Amino acid sequence: MALAGLGSSVDVVAQATASQNISNKARFTLKYAPTLEMFKENAGKDPVDNLKFIADQGFRAAYDLGMITRSPEEQEKIANEAQRLGLELGQFSLKTWDIPFVSDKSEAAKLIKEKMLAGLEIQKRTGINKALIVLGYCDPKLHIEKQTANVIENLRMCCEIVEKNGIELLMEPLNTLVNHPGVFLMRTTQAKMICVAVDHPNCKMVDDLYHQQVTEGNLISNMETCWDYIGSIHIGDNPGRNEPTTGEINYKNIFQYLYDRKYNEVLSCEHGQSKPGKEGELAIIKAYRAVDPA
């Protein structure tokens, strides 16, 4: 059943079931990237089947933060299938939660180097050139200025390791009010300051719109302020951290801003779903149809 280009395709998708070979091939304008687990009720647990489903719904990208935990064979399989389907793969995570970037200890530097080298191997197998990093938690025994200086030095070291392979390192500010009390990096302007100090083209930041709505609001203005240093954008509404249209963030205006800005990077759908089951997954697709720029 060909649904591409039909204005009623969203309603058809919302009413369909997985057994009816759901299809909604009209391509989205922006590169929204579902995870490989977002549609498991409709597509099953296999990541390749999820990629097929994602492409069949008109998405232009996908991402898997947990790529580093997969076997080399599965990483290659996912990358090959994404390429076959014409899907761009967004960033993977280097899983640096437990590494204190605020430290100048040799033990911390060793752990950081190991993660960078692991990232190079993933890039070789998948071709993904963006790696997400979290800078860890504050150290109450160090002045904030000393912590910041240590972060800058550690990121310079990271950039020296990955620069030949062209990997962009994306540090992510997180909110401390709801999800991550005690983390070092919280605000977009703080991340920009660090990027400026590191002074390397491979050092960028993530703008997670859910986290920043909790932390600072003023989302479009802050994107404009930090634009040259934003290497990736994450999507999630607030409160609830679910799909667009379920909270207070005006994603229709934000996506129009990005479209007008000619933003052509992956937008990672880092959120849950507001409704359970297959219908909840299909509601995610419907929500993105509602806010995608025409």
- What would the 3-class secondary structure string for the chain be? CCCCCCCCHHHHHHHCCHHHCCCCCCCCCCEEECECCCCHHHHCCCHHHHHHHHHHCCCCEEECHHHHHCCHHHHHHHHHHHHHHCCEECCEECCCCCCCCCCCCHHHHHHHHHHHHHHHHHHHHHCCCEEEECCCECCCCCCHHHHHHHHHHHHHHHHHHHHHHCCEEEECCCCCCCCCCCECCCCHHHHHHHHHHHCCCCEEEEEEHHHHHHHCCCHHHHHHHHHHHEEEEEECCCCCCCCCCCCCCCHHHHHHHHHHCCCCCEEEECCCCCCCHHHHHHHHHHHHHHHCCC
CB atoms under 10 Å from CB of 233, counted, come to: 21
Active-site hit among 81, 88, 168, 270: 270
For the question of residue 270 being annotated catalytic, the response is yes
Active-site hit among 172, 243, 265, 281: 172
Q: Are 151 and 138 in contact (CB under 8 A)?
A: no
| Side-chain half-sphere exposure of 188, counting CA atoms within 13 A | 29
For the question of residue 172 being annotated catalytic, the response is yes
Residues annotated as catalytic are: 172, 270
